[in-house]
Structure 1
Amino acid sequence: MTLDHQTNPTNVVLELVTDQCRRKVLHYLIAAGNQPVTLDELTDGIYPGKTPPESGVQPSPLDSRYDSKEHLTLALQHSHLPKLEAAGVIEYDTRSRIVRYHSTPRLETLLAFIANELE
């Protein structure tokens, strides 16, 4: 599942943004710009009640699936980051626990629409 010509990029982008946690991850990484972030920084940044002010997203708690930072970190490592990496939106180095975002205008446009019109 990548954002290339072999798949339907609309379906891929829609699947990526269906999950609230992935939307929070993407907003955080977009706000970080080209700067890599550690998994710990990402977890701290999106844990309930934390949203970077420059993202333009109103703080909202993640759903009750993540009752601790450790639980959120595990979900990021084993579910959300691999899905984003498979789509070619991020690079995640499991050894250094560094996440790098790759600018994806189509995805960013959809995230902005969701944040401004639907959430």
Structure 2
Amino acid sequence: MSDSEKRVDNIETVRNHPEEAYESKLSSETIARVLKNRRRRAICRVLANGSNVTTLDELVDALMEQEANATGTETERDRELLSIRLHHVHLPLLEDIGLIAYEHRCGTVRYWGHSEIENFLN
């Protein structure tokens, strides 16, 4: 088995066993990168204060509600753009660092949690 095949197997093993919750070790630079972005802070806040599993649509609803409360406006175009940004930018980044598992085919987001990030948000 080649090194690349082993790496793929390890990724699949982790994703196939979501019940094995753990707190990943994130560097202070990674935590700063996550929290630097307003949208990612909002995503983490919604996930930390909700259930551990949600859908992309539910996450979009929660974030749109927050923004509508702050700005007083919400359009269907805003909702569509937010969904696209979450799907292509923010959720993959949060998955890459081990904070969430994102199953893009069914739109499921599982939040693993991280105490340092949650302490900052509270």
- If the length of structure 2 is used for normalisation, what is the TM-score? 0.70
What corresponds to 1:72 in structure 2? 82
1:49 to partner: Cα distance: 3.4
What number of residue pairs does the alignment pair up? 95
- 1:17 is paired with a residue of what secondary structure? helix
What is the CA distance between 1:73 and its match in structure 2?
A: 0.2
| Partner amino acid, structure 2, of 1:84 | L
Q: Would you say the 8 A contact 1:44–1:50 is kept in 2?
A: no
Q: Does 1:44 align with 2:54?
A: no
The structure whose residues are more often helix, as a share, is: 2
- The two structures, once aligned, show a CA RMSD in angstroms of 2.2
Return the alpha-carbon distance in structure 2 between the equivalents of residues 70 and 19 of structure 1. 19
Measured after TM superposition, the shift of residue 102 of structure 1 is 0.6
SS in 1 for 2:95: helix
Bigger Rg over Cα: 2
**Separation in structure 2 between the aligned mates of residue 31 and residue 101 of structure 1, nearest angstrom:** 10
Structure 1 residue aligned with 2:4: none
Of 96, 103, 109, the residue aligned with 1:99 is 109
Q: State how far apart, in whole Å, the 1-side matches of 2:79 and 2:40 are.
A: 15
Tell me, yes or no, if structure 1 residue 29 matches structure 2 residue 47. yes
Deviations 1:12-61 (A, max 9, x none): 00100111111111111011132x1110000010015359xxxxxxx535
Name the aligned partner's letter for residue 98 of structure 2.
Answer: G
Gaps of 5+ in 1: 52-58, 62-66, 113-119
Cα distance between partner residues in 2 of 1:22 and 1:93: 18
Output one character per residue of 1:66-104: Cα deviation in whole Å (capped at 9) or x when no partner. x61000000000000011111100000011100010120
Q: How far apart in 1 are the matches of 2:51 and 2:102?
A: 15
Percent identical among aligned pairs is: 30
Gaps of 5+ in 2: 1-23, 72-76
What's the TM-score once normalised by structure 1's chain length?
0.71
